Amino acid sequence: MPTVLAHDVVERANDVLNDVLSARWGDDTLLNYLNEAQYAVVAARPDANAVNATMGCLPSAKQVLPAGGLRLIEVMSNTDTGKPVTLIDVDLLNEQVPEWRKVDPPVRAIDHYVYDDRDPKTFYVYPTPEQGHQIDLVYAAVPERVAGLGDTITVDDIYFNPLVDHMLWRAFSRDTANPAGASQASIHWQAFATALGLKVKADAAMSPNNG
């Protein structure tokens, strides 16, 4: 659970910007940059804001993540029995049970789920569950917006430095009066990207399909 306050991140950014009194950029501007940085972190590393939750199912093969869900990480189990729900290849399921998406009499235990990285907020389950049947799952969520300096950041504390670097990239990118602004922005972008292993393989690395 995050413990770092927005104040701590903004203060670090101000130190680098030589603006400890927040006279030039201002707290509101840097808070906006902090929120942008949180979104960028989660886009690159969905596990940075992973949520463990219990979800009530629709009486359908197709299921959608709860509000605020960004990307499925894993379906764990049926809540009531603890029976695992395992990932299955859709081609295999199509071959073995061609009409698996058809709504038969609903059941009280899900055996398998199917996930497609191209549709990250949606997954499919088999067999079709009862309305409200509960499953335990893990998903990446959109980070909550930080409204004030006293708020706690949403992503894990380990992302403190990447947050600062992304904020500094934004600040220096807009500092047209500073001849060194562009080069400083580039340095902080590279630091952010390096820290996160940005991004090409991030979604694939977090996908349930990679087991």
- 208 assigned to some structural domain: no
Domain assignment of residue 191, given as a range: 6-47+144-203
Q: How far is CA 82 from the centre of its chain?
A: 25
Q: Are 155 and 42 in contact (CB under 8 A)?
A: yes
- 132 with 149, same domain: the answer is no
pLDDT at position 68 is 94
Residue-wise over 73-97: b if at least 16 C-beta within 10 A, else e? Answer: bbbebbeeeeeebebbeeeebeeee
pLDDT in tens, 113-152: 999 999 999 999 999 999 999 999 999 999 999 999 999 9
- 156 assigned to some structural domain: yes
Boundary-marking domain end, from 115, 141, 167: 141
Residue 62's alpha-carbon distances to 114, 160, 178, in angstroms, are: 9, 37, 53
- Pairing mode, strands 69-78 and 134-141: antiparallel
**Could you say which residues of the chain have pLDDT below 70?**
20-23, 176, 198-211
- 1 assigned to some structural domain: no
| The total number of structural domains that make up the chain | 2
- 109 with 149, same domain: the answer is no
- 103 assigned to some structural domain: yes
Boundary-marking domain end, from 93, 111, 141: 141
pLDDT at position 104 is 77
Say how many C-beta atoms besides its own lie within 10 A of residue 4's C-beta.
17
Boundary-marking domain end, from 104, 124, 141: 141
pLDDT at position 166 is 97
- 106 with 38, same domain: the answer is no
- 89 assigned to some structural domain: yes
- 34 with 60, same domain: the answer is no
pLDDT at position 200 is 41
- 24 with 72, same domain: the answer is no
Q: Are 9 and 153 in contact (CB under 8 A)?
A: yes
pLDDT at position 23 is 63
- 149 with 185, same domain: the answer is yes
- 102 assigned to some structural domain: yes
- 53 with 41, same domain: the answer is no
pLDDT at position 199 is 45
- 211 assigned to some structural domain: no
DSSP string, the chain: ----BHHHHHHHHHHHHT-TT--SS-HHHHHHHHHHHHHHHHHH-GGGGEEEEEEEPPSSSEEEPPTTEEEEEEEEEETTT--B-EE--HHHHHHH-TTTTS--S-BS---EEEE-TTSTTEEEEESPBPTT-EEEEEEEEPPPPP-STTSBPSS-GGGHHHHHHHHHHHHHHT-TT-TTHHHHHHHHHHHHHHHHT-STTHHHHH-GGG-
- 166 assigned to some structural domain: yes
